[in-house]
Amino acid sequence: MSAAAPAHRTRKGTSGGKGKSKASWQSVLSDLMLLLLPLAIGLFAIGANTGPAARLRNEVFDQFQRLAPRTWSVDLPVRVVDIDDESLARLGQWPWPRSRIAQLSNKLADNGAAVVAWDVIFSEEDRQSVAGALQSLPDVPERKALATALATRGLMDDDTLAKAFARVPTVLAMSLGNETGAVAVSAKWGIVALGDNPAPFITGHEKALLPLPQLVEAAAGLGSVNYVPDGDLVVRRAPLFLKLGTGPDAQLIPSLPLEALRLAFGASSYQIKASNASGETGLGTKSGIVAVRVGETIMQTEADGEIRVRFAGFQPARHFSAWKVLAGEVPKDSLDGRIVLVGATAAGLNDLRATPLGVAVPGVDAHAEVIEHILSASNLARPDYAPGVEAVVLILVGLLVAWGARQSHPLPAAIGLFAIIASALAASWSAFESLDLLFEPVVPALSWIAIFLLLTISTYRRTERERRTVRHAFSRYLAPAIVERLAANPSALQLGGEARNMSILFCDARDFTTRSETMGPEDVVLFLNDLHTPLTNLVLAESGTIDKYIGDGLMAFWNAPLDVPHHPACACRAALKMRDAVPLIDAKAQARAAARGASHVPVVIGIGLNTGDVFVGNMGSEQRFDYSIVGDAVNVAARLESATKDFGVQIAVSDSIRQAAPEFLYVDLGKISLKGKAEAMQVYCLHGGPEDRTGDFDAFIDLHQKALDACANHDPNARDLLRAARRHPLGRSYKKFYDRLMKDESGIELEMEPETIITLGGS
């Protein structure tokens, strides 16, 4: 049977071509289904505003803010007066008497505050001073008369507080809910709506918790302190307006930060621009609010009138303790002309919110961040066209990734995918950092990874099926390593080869004939298996290829069929490990000999190593060929293995090995003249690895070289030097070599085998 015939028939035969075409279309359809699944999930996730995809998106955008928070400047005209723990410790527990609140408001007015916004809802009468004393009296006509008289003369503390609020433009806080409270608010602002009615797009509530009427009347502004956190309770967006009530009579209530800005700008009204306003075509659809204007400041909003806040985080220079303001310890220029927010930051008052930059941010700080965000002209937003852009990019890049997964090797395809994902992350980051725009990078990236993995696995499984077919067809004829090579590259199934620089190893067991005379056929097979199995494993562990077994010997090579960097060093390590494995092999052979009652012949191996240019490839005939190597370097390696018997060493290597792997330890054995070679070749014994170098080895090599030089120069002390080298602990391994040199009268040449002559000295 011709080894090439099956591939030839599949390539040229009509039925084979149809089968291949059908299989190809099936693989394309299968991969198309694997492509569509991640694309569909990714497109759904991009459009989702809730659920895991939205949480993941928010976490990515939060991380952007942590990496590059909004730059804070001391020139920003926003300051916070803290009702902090130290203020409570010095001035008493909260709530404070209205008289003290009035003192604080007056202090801020005296220091020139432009606007004072209170993040405190004064919804109940004062119960701690005059009003509190009246409340403790019996409910009799006298108490009512006293209260009326005090109120008429302006001596009630709430009235005193109202007068303080009237001294400075003051914004009071209100809270919207759905349980108890007022259903309408006396608005202190006007609203001009451009385009569609903005009310339907704004979050609504049914009731409002308001400050006392006399305080509302005295204040210049009134704003909501409500926030609408995301599902994970993190405040990322701030509503500029909330809605009180339903239907056509619903009121739009500005937020506390927005109302503070209105007063700071001296404006009387807001302008809300929605879809279908001038310059906003909307194509007739009511898509939501576009922008809010107060004074000369325009804020781009999302459809529900909220803005995404770019936070700066806690800034100590923004804060002043309330007790210091009351004590006059805050310089006037620190508050003069500023928007001052007064709120509780004490831990026990629980006015805390989570933001992208902190899990426990005081509410008054969140209000300050909103005002600073607006004044800094930040327009952080996820534009309405972002999902569309992301969807297009997801599909186009997904198709590119799918093509790469099918057509390219996994490693370059993975590198390309990594580069694409890195580019997407960089583009998203650049849009955030430079343009204040938020584009989703993670969902598309995860979709591309899923496409790559699914199609790579599909391609791998399809390739493995094809390789199994090749393995099954040729495993009976070729070596396993070559079958794998042919499975990976079926086009290599032809005669021919290439020139390569390779390392070659020959190994042979000594006295095999003597050993086999005392063994039956089965015992011979067992011995060969016990010998070849560990030696083969050691060769393969060092990236070598077994060429063939020759009785009790084996031939191996490196750097084919695959490239093996530093292959001479790999060959040296394999040879040393094979040498070190001999005692275990010998022990097993001795145990088997004892079990059958036979004498034991010690196991000794000889190894020859050489490196050089050879020809490697498929050699033979069209009917049967083998993957092997030929060349002079192969013959030299075989001669070196044979010479180990005469040298009395286990590993003989050429000078080319020593030069290619100089880090190993070598012992000079002189030169040998090989049959058919005009010049003698330098030979060394591979003594050990780099880790075996010691001072003893260096001393031994020095003594060894002196002995060889003495022999070459006919020095009368040659024999004494040889004896000294042989007595050295490391020289015992070279006893046979030294004995042969001492038997030689000339000390110059020794005949060994008919084709081998040792020559000492010189190169």
Mean pLDDT over 13-39 rounds to: 63
pLDDT at 163: 93
pLDDT at 343 over 60: yes
What confidence tens digit (pLDDT) does each residue in 534-562 have?
999 999 889 888 889 988 999 999 998 77
Report the range of poorest mean pLDDT among 17-31, 79-93, 104-118, 665-679: 17-31
- Work out whether the CA dihedral 611, 612, 618, 624 comes out positive or negative: negative
pLDDT at 475 over 90: no
pLDDT at 253: 94
pLDDT at 545: 87
Of 687, 673, 684, 640, the C-alpha closest to 508 is: 640
pLDDT at 756: 45
In this prediction, residue 56 has a pLDDT band, given cuts at 50, 70 and 90, of: confident
pLDDT at 137: 54
Q: Which residue has the tokens 């996820």?
A: 382
Mean pLDDT of the chain: 84
pLDDT at 262: 95
pLDDT at 752: 39
Mean pLDDT over 344-373 rounds to: 88
- Exposed e or buried b for every residue in 586-604, given b needs 16+ CB within 10 A? bebbeebbeeeeeeebebe
pLDDT at 482: 55
pLDDT at 6: 33
In this prediction, residue 625 has a pLDDT band, given cuts at 50, 70 and 90, of: low
pLDDT at 335 over 50: yes
pLDDT at 4: 35
Q: Which of 543-552, 659-668, 672-681 has the highest mean pLDDT?
A: 659-668
Side-chain half-sphere of 759: how many Cα atoms within 13 Å?
A: 12
Contact residues for 69 (Cβ-Cβ < 8 A; gap 6+): 310, 311, 312, 313, 357
Contact residues for 743 (Cβ-Cβ < 8 A; gap 6+): none
Mean pLDDT over 176-201 rounds to: 88
Indicate where the chain has its CATH 3.30.70.1230 domain(s). Answer: 495-653
pLDDT at 25: 65
pLDDT at 406 over 70: yes
Mean pLDDT over 249-271 rounds to: 94
0.75 exceeded by the pTM? no
pLDDT at 14 over 50: no
Tokens describing residue 699: 């001393």
Burial bucket for residue 281 (CB in 10 Å: 0-12, 13-18, 19+): exposed
Report the range of poorest mean pLDDT among 125-129, 320-324, 740-744: 125-129
Strands 651-654 and 605-620: parallel
Mean pLDDT over 208-218 rounds to: 93
> Which CATH architecture fits 495-653?
2-Layer Sandwich (3.30)
pLDDT at 16: 42
Mean pLDDT over 367-384 rounds to: 89
pLDDT at 409: 82
Q: How many CB atoms lie within 10 A of CB 192?
A: 10
pLDDT at 749: 40
Angle between helices 695-712 and 735-743 in degrees, nearest 10: 20
pLDDT at 722 over 60: yes
Tokens describing residue 164: 């303080």
CA distance 233 to 138: 46
In this prediction, residue 144 has a pLDDT band, given cuts at 50, 70 and 90, of: low
pLDDT at 20: 45
pLDDT at 673: 82
pLDDT at 134: 53
What confidence tens digit (pLDDT) does each residue in 501-514 have?
999 999 999 988 88
Q: Which of 17-21, 97-101, 302-306, 572-576 has the highest mean pLDDT?
A: 572-576
Q: How many CB atoms lie within 10 A of CB 479?
A: 17
CA distance 443 to 39: 10
Contact 161, 120 (CB under 8 A): no
CA distance 55 to 229: 12
